[in-house]
């Protein structure tokens, strides 16, 4: 079965699960998340992690200060380094879950990165992480909420934080797997939502948790999920090709109930990213937060 077919099948099944089945799944998932959190607290070995030492839950969480993300990008540009390779090596050095206690001084970053890259180049098993970053960074072209919608204030019309892993309770205990971009005015239908990438509309319609949503698959088989829309762009259909920056719909507060339910939470866009990760033997979603910050910065007026 192709990956597209698997994603379609997953969406089909999720729409038809009864409340009891979803609740049982959520409770099992919560137990697994709790177990992963316990493992995460165990001390890691010093230096670059081996592939078998990387927890998928940590790789999904992709915890790093955005200041360090920007510093790595700056170092790559300054020293003519390959940024996806440097980002992968740095992330793997900290097991994808860098704590504040592990953050190096800015002054020591260049030396540390040289050491990490030297170790990384000798471990071919870690290359799939680099390829994931290379794919994601190259295919993401546009922040999903046009910043020009600021109504002349010069400020962004939206705001967001890193809420990956936050507790969610509707339909059972579960962890948040995405980034919520909030409308500062909390006004449904006000803000446009556009495609981050080029791709094909794999799915659109209603889903109890995500409300009105659109799923776009890229040529690299990455799935981008845009949820809680108020309405869709005219002409939205499964199978149509979209370009980065093309209108998908309008930000809303739909979901958490039968079709048409709105107003159960503030107006926002939930962004989810499911890359075709060669290192994962199961469906793998990655924290969009750093990628969203990177896109927003790249599009902000200089």
CB 250 within 8 A of CB 192: yes
Cα–Cα distance list, 61 to 132, 136, 210 (Å):
14, 15, 20
Cβ neighbours of 124 (radius 10 Å)? 9
Spell out, as residue ranges, where the chain has pLDDT lower than 70: 1-51, 101, 150-153, 301-302
What pLDDT score does 239 carry?
Answer: 97
User: What does CATH list as the number for 145-299?
Assistant: 2.70.70.10
Domain(s) labelled CATH 2.70.70.10 in the chain stretch across 145-299
What pLDDT score does 30 carry?
Answer: 42
CB 218 within 8 A of CB 199: yes
What pLDDT score does 153 carry?
Answer: 64
What pLDDT score does 47 carry?
Answer: 60
Q: Which one, of 49, 7, 32, lies nearest residue 174 by Cα?
A: 32
What pLDDT score does 94 carry?
Answer: 86
Q: Which one, of 131, 134, 158, lies nearest residue 145 by Cα?
A: 158
What pLDDT score does 3 carry?
Answer: 57
What pLDDT score does 40 carry?
Answer: 44
List Cβ neighbours of 60 (8 Å cut-off, separation of 6 or more).
164, 177, 284, 285, 286, 287
What pLDDT score does 5 carry?
Answer: 54
Residue 178 three-state SS: coil
Q: Which one, of 1, 197, 277, lies nearest residue 214 by Cα?
A: 197
């Amino acid at each position: 079965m192709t990956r597209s077919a698997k994603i379609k099948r997953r969406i089909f099944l999720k729409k038809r699960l009864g409340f009891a089945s979803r609740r049982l799944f959520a409770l099992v998932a919560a137990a697994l998340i709790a177990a992963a959190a316990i493992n995460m607290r165990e001390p890691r070995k010093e230096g670059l992690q081996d592939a078998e030492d990387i927890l998928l839950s940590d790789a999904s969480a992709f915890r790093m200060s955005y200041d360090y993300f920007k510093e790595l990008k700056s170092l790559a540009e300054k020293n003519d380094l390959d940024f996806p390779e440097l980002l992968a090596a740095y992330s793997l050095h900290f097991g994808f879950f860098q704590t504040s206690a592990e953050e190096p001084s800015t002054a020591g970053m260049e030396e540390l990165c040289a050491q990490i890259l030297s170790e990384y180049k000798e471990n071919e098993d870690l290359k799939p992480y680099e390829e994931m970053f290379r794919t994601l960074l190259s295919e993401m072209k546009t922040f999903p909420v046009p910043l020009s919608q600021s109504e002349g204030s010069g400020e962004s019309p939206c705001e967001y934080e890193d809420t990956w892993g936050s507790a969610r309770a509707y339909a059972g205990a579960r962890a948040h797997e995405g980034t919520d971009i909030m409308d500062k005015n909390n006004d449904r239908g006000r803000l446009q939502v556009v495609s981050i990438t080029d791709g094909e509309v794999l799915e659109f319609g209603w889903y109890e948790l995500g409300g009105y949503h659109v799923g776009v698959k890229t040529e690299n088989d990455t799935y981008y999920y845009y949820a809680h829309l108020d309405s869709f762009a005219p002409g939205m259909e499964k199978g149509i090709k979209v370009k980065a920056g093309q209108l998908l719909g309008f930000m809303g507060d739909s979901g958490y109930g039968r079709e048409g339910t709105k107003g159960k939470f503030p107006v926002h866009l939930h962004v989810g990213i499911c890359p075709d990760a060669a290192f994962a033997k199961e469906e793998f979603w990655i924290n969009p937060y750093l990628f969203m910050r990177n896109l927003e910065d790249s599009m902000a007026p200089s």
